[in-house]
C-alpha cells in the first residue's frame, strides 16, 4: 500500500463516521468543490457482516447491515466512492464528492485542513470522552477479592 | 481507476425494468425489433442497446464473457458487478465484439436443466422486420421476417442447426445500436 492509499483510507474512514451535518458545516469554510456528476447512487442496500468467534474462529454471518453507497465523478475524471452504514444519502454523496476532490493534489491540502482534520479531531475527542466515561465505571476484580 | 467512468441508467430501477419488459416482449415475439437503450451512453465500443441489455440482465450470479477492451470492460464491471468468464464456454452471457465464438461451443444447458444455457448477445449493424430470414415457431403467428445486417457469416446456418439438440440450445439477442430482436432456441430459422 502506498502512502497515498494510506492517506485515502484515513479520509474515507473519517468521512464514513461523520454525519451529513458535520460534513456540511466543515464544507462551509472550505474552498468550493468542483461540479460533479453522479455515476451510481446514492442508493441504499444491504451487506452481510461476517465475524469470527474470538477473532480467529471460522467465519460466520453475523447479520445484515444497511449501507448507503455513492459514486461520483468530478471534472478532470477523478472518481470518488463512499460506502457508509445507515441510510444517509446526503452524507454518502458528500463523502463521495470529497473523496474525488481529495484525490486532486491541488485541492487536497485546503480540503484536508478545512474538513478532514477537524472531523478526525472531533471524532478522536468523542472516542476519548466515551472511553473516559467507561473507565470511570471500571471494576478492579482483583481489588474486590482482596477487600473481602 | 478508470478515468472515464460513465454513468449507467439515469434511474437504475425504472431503467432496468423498462429494458427488461422490452427484452421480455422481444423474446416472446421472435423477430420483432424493439427500440432499447434510449438515453444511455456506455463507453465505445458498447452501444446503447448493448449497454441496456447488460445492465438489465447481468449481475453477480451471471458470468459474462466478452472481448470488450477497457474502459468498456471497467464500465460493465462497475455497473453490473458480474464476474468475467475466462472463456465463452463457461459464461452465462456471451458478448463478442470481435469475432463471435461458434454457437455450438457455448453452454447449451443439460436435458434436465436446459434453462442453464448461455445467452448470446450479438451486436449487428442494423435490424429490420419484413425481409431476410424466415422465422417460424412459438410466438410467431404464421411467419416473421427479420434481416440482421452485419450478422457473422454462417450464423443463420449454425442457429438452424442447433434445433437438433432441443431443448438444449443457446438463446440469441441480436442488438443493433439502438434496438434488439431475439431468437429463442425454439424458433425455426431458414434463410430466404
Average pLDDT along chain A, 148 residues, taken 10 residues at a time: 88 93 88 87 91 87 94 87 94 93 88 91 94 89 70
| H/E run at residue A123 | helix A117-136
How far apart are the CA of A130 and the nearest CA of chain B, in angstroms? 38
DSSP-derived secondary structure letter, B109: -
Check whether B83 has a pLDDT greater than 90: yes
Residues across chain B: 192
Kindly report the backbone phi and psi dihedral angles of residue A139, in degrees, each rounded to the nearest multiple of 5, phi listed first. Answer: -110, 125
* Dihedral sign of CA atoms A66, B6, A22, A133 in order: positive
pLDDT attached to residue A147: 66
pLDDT attached to residue A94: 93
pLDDT attached to residue B24: 96
Ranking A87-96, A134-143, B33-42, B43-52 by mean pLDDT, the lowest is: A134-143
Do β-strands A79-85 and A59-74 pair in parallel, antiparallel, or remain unpaired?
antiparallel
Per CATH, the architecture of B12-190 is what?
Answer: 3-Layer(aba) Sandwich (3.40)
CA angle B47, B48, B53 (to 5 degrees): 100
pLDDT attached to residue B4: 62
CA angle A76, A77, A81 (to 5 degrees): 125
Q: Using alpha carbons, list the distances in angstroms from residue A70 to A4, A37, B12, B42, B57.
A: 21, 11, 13, 19, 22
pLDDT attached to residue B55: 94
How far apart are the CA of A72 and the nearest CA of chain B, in angstroms? 9
Check whether B49 has a pLDDT greater than 60: yes
Give the number of other CB atoms < 10 A from CB of residue B167.
15
Helix/strand/coil for B81: coil
Check whether B29 has a pLDDT greater than 90: yes
When pLDDT is cut at 50, 70 and 90, the band that residue B32 belongs to is very high
Q: How far apart are CA B102 and CA B90, in angstroms?
A: 14
For residues B64 and B82, the answer to whether their CB atoms sit within 8 Å is yes
Q: How far apart are CA A39 and CA B28, in angstroms?
A: 33
Check whether B3 has a pLDDT greater than 60: no
Do β-strands B34-35 and B119-123 pair in parallel, antiparallel, or remain unpaired?
unpaired
A83 touches chain B (CB under 8 A): no
Q: How far apart are CA A95 and CA B83, in angstroms?
A: 28
Q: Per the confidence metrics, is the pTM higher than 0.90?
A: no
Q: Using alpha carbons, list the distances in angstroms from residue B111 to A29, B35, B117.
A: 67, 34, 10
Q: Quote the cell numbers at residue B76.
A: 460493465
Residues in A touching B1 (Cβ below 8 Å): 79
**Interval B36-55 mean pLDDT:** 91
**Interval B118-126 mean pLDDT:** 95
Check whether B1 has a pLDDT greater than 50: no
Residue A75's nearest CA partner among B3, B43, B45 is B3
Residues in B touching A71 (Cβ below 8 Å): 5, 78
Q: How far apart are CA B140 and CA B157, in angstroms?
A: 20
Contact A39 B1 (CB under 8 A): no
**Mutation site, B4, B6, B7, B14, interface A, largest A CB count within 10 A:** B7
pLDDT attached to residue B129: 93
pLDDT attached to residue A148: 60
* B interface residues, A as partner, C-beta within 8 Å: 1-8, 12, 78-79
Helix/strand/coil for A124: helix
Contacts of B169 (CB under 8 A, 6+ apart): B108, B109, B114, B117, B162, B163, B185
Helix/strand/coil for B42: coil
How far apart are the CA of B72 and the nearest CA of chain A, in angstroms? 15
A73 touches chain B (CB under 8 A): yes
For residues A13 and A38, the answer to whether their CB atoms sit within 8 Å is no
User: What are the boundaries of each domain within chain B?
Assistant: 12-190
Cell 449454425 sits at which residue? B158
Amino acid at each position: 500500500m502506498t502512502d497515498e492509499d494510506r492517506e485515502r483510507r484515513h479520509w474515507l474512514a473519517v468521512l464514513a463516521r461523520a454525519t451529513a451535518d458535520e460534513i456540511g458545516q466543515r464544507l462551509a469554510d472550505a474552498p468550493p468543490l468542483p461540479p460533479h456528476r453522479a455515476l451510481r447512487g446514492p442508493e441504499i442496500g444491504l451487506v452481510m457482516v461476517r465475524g469470527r468467534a474470538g477473532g480467529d474462529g471460522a467465519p460466520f454471518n453475523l447479520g445484515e447491515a444497511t449501507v448507503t453507497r455513492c459514486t461520483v465523478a468530478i471534472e478532470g475524471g477523478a472518481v470518488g466512492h463512499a460506502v457508509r452504514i445507515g441510510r444517509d444519502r446526503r452524507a454518502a454523496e458528500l463523502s463521495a464528492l470529497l473523496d474525488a476532490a481529495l484525490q486532486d493534489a491541488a485541492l487536497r491540502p485546503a480540503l484536508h485542513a478545512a474538513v478532514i482534520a477537524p472531523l478526525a479531531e472531533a471524532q478522536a475527542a468523542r472516542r476519548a470522552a466515551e472511553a473516559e466515561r467507561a473507565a470511570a465505571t471500571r471494576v478492579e476484580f482483583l481489588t474486590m477479592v482482596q477487600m473481602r | 481507476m478508470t478515468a472515464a467512468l460513465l454513468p449507467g441508467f439515469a434511474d437504475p430501477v425504472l431503467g432496468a425494468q423498462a429494458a427488461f419488459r422490452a427484452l421480455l416482449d422481444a423474446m416472446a415475439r421472435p423477430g420483432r425489433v424493439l427500440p432499447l437503450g434510449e438515453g444511455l451512453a456506455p463507453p465505445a465500443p458498447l452501444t446503447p442497446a448493448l449497454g441496456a441489455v447488460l445492465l438489465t440482465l447481468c449481475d453477480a450470479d451471471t458470468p459474462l464473457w466478452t472481448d470488450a477492451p477497457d474502459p468498456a470492460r471497467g464500465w460493465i464491471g462497475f455497473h453490473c458487478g458480474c464476474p468475467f468468464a475466462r472463456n465463452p464456454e463457461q459464461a452465462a452471457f456471451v458478448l463478442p465484439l470481435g469475432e463471435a465464438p461458434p454457437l455450438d461451443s457455448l453452454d447449451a444447458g443439460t436435458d434436465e436443466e436446459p434453462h442453464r444455457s448461455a445467452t448470446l448477445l450479438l451486436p449487428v449493424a442494423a435490424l429490420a422486420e419484413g425481409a431476410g430470414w424466415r422465422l417460424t415457431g412459438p410466438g410467431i403467428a404464421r411467419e416473421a421476417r427479420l434481416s440482421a445486417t452485419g450478422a457473422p457469416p454462417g450464423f443463420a446456418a449454425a442457429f438452424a442447426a442447433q434445433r437438433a439438440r432441443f431443448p438444449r440450445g443457446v438463446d440469441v439477442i441480436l442488438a443493433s445500436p439502438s434496438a434488439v430482436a431475439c431468437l429463442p432456441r425454439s424458433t425455426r430459422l431458414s434463410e430466404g
